[in-house]
Amino acid sequence: MKKAKQAERSKWFKLQAKTYCDKNGWSYSTEDEAEALCMLDALRIMNEPDHAFDRGRSFQQENFL
């Protein structure tokens, strides 16, 4: 029973990762690669406060163009 729940959770996380990558315009070859890109982004946000600030600034600049 736990294995089924784990598989469902994994599938859900991979879908969320693909959606996040698509939203940010990141290309990926596999679901695992999309998941890894999201993990790297999360680590950068946690360890590099300027990264999150810069991402917000570039998003605002793109919207003004």
pLDDT at 65: 45
Q: Which domain holds residue 17?
A: 1-62
CB distance 50 to 37 below 8 Å: no
51 within 8 A of 44, measured Cβ to Cβ: yes
Per the CB < 8 A criterion, the answer to whether 37 and 26 are in contact is yes
Q: In this predicted structure, what is the pLDDT of residue 55?
A: 62
**Domain count across the chain:** 1
Q: How many CB atoms lie within 10 A of CB 6?
A: 10
Within a 13 Å sphere around the CA of 20, how many CA atoms are in the beta-carbon half?
17
Supply the pLDDT for residue 61.
46
Query: What angle (nearest 5°) sits at the alpha carbon of residue 37, between those of residues 11 and 61?
Result: 120
What pLDDT score does 64 carry?
Answer: 45
Kindly give the confidence (pLDDT) of every residue in the chain, 65 residues in length, as a single tens digit, with 9 standing for 90 and above.
567 799 899 999 999 999 999 998 999 999 999 999 999 998 888 888 777 666 655 544 444 44
